[in-house]
Amino acid sequence: MRIDELLKTKQTYSYEIFPPKGTMPLSDARKVAEALAQDHPDWISTTFSAGGTGSSSHTAEICDTVQNDLGITSLAHLTCLGSSKEDVERYVEKLDRAGVSNVLALRGDRAPGRDAIDFTYASDLISYLKAQHPELCLGAACYPEGHVESPSMRRSLENLKRKQDAGADFFVTQLFFDNETFYRFRDLCARGRIKIPIVVGIMPFTSQKQITRMAFTCGASIPSAVIKRIIAAGDDPAEQAKAGVAYAIEQLQDLAQNGVDGLHIYTMNKPAMAHEIHEALVGCGYLAS
């Protein structure tokens, strides 16, 4: 099922997982997907790693499992920095064989040795895919606080318009911890003639260390409400993680109530945590059981 079609019918609920990293076997990643599927999300997205320990070759395989063995719509991430058109074609062919028709088209983070070959920005990849594979439904990334490399929100919004005009069918946000930031961003998008749906991506914080790292990698600000929750949780890692899930549930309830297009959970491959969030949203009537 195309995700843009789904978004026309409902406020969606979805999960993100990542493929095996390091020595983690593919079967473990499949088990994560199986456990997440119990919640019947509208789709599961699988991240793409162009280098390091995560293997991009496994992304298509996990997408295949999700879509064909678990019967859940798959969204395959794809980064283009360091990739040629031939690399992209090989990946799309794998997705096509698995019947996966949703792609989240991304630039990827800059890294030493990962230079642009055929694509410099995500909008280049979106234009290319739209022209070569018009059957694909294309998602793109957006940033409620602006992209870290962007000199201003205006420039960041111009890029979203560029991605929409290139053929993006929907956006998924980077994580954020302050819903007011998202509502301001949504208003700016509407004024900037950004019309495609915006799915919100929420990641529960798991510890003070993790949230600080996130803030520095993606530029998400940490509101005082979050700092107070972490202080109240004390030094116990389990209590900090519990506080993170509770905060994410409150964030999601508020977002659901305020009519966002879709709720997407960055599960960090933790199905029990995702299930707790799912049950809380079912409990207050935002999701069907």
Binding residues for ligand FAD, rule: CB under 6 A, are 47-49, 77, 79, 104, 106-109, 121-123, 141, 147, 149-150, 155-156, 159, 163, 172, 174, 201
Distance of closest approach, residue 239 Cβ to ligand FAD, in angstroms: 29
Q: Which of 16, 93, 180, 279 is catalytic?
A: 16
Ranges assigned E (strand) in the chain: 12-17, 43-46, 73-79, 102-106, 137-142, 170-173, 198-202, 262-266
Distance of closest approach, residue 127 Cβ to ligand FAD, in angstroms: 11
Q: Where are the alpha helices (DSSP H) in 68-113?
A: 85-98
Distance of closest approach, residue 60 Cβ to ligand FAD, in angstroms: 13
Tell me whether residue 89 is one of the annotated catalytic residues. no
The SS3 of residue 62 is helix
By beta-carbon proximity to ligand FAD, the closer residue of 229 and 270 is 270
Distance of closest approach, residue 144 Cβ to ligand FAD, in angstroms: 10
Could you give the CA distance from residue 2 to residue 8 in angstroms, rounded to a whole number? 10
204 close to 186: Cβ distance less than 8 angstroms: no
Could you give the CA distance from residue 35 to residue 108 in angstroms, rounded to a whole number? 28
202 close to 230: Cβ distance less than 8 angstroms: no
Backbone angles phi, psi at 233, to 5 degrees: -75, -15
Q: Which residues contact 274 (CB under 8 A, 6 or more apart)?
A: 15, 36, 39, 265, 267
Q: Which residues are catalytic?
A: 16
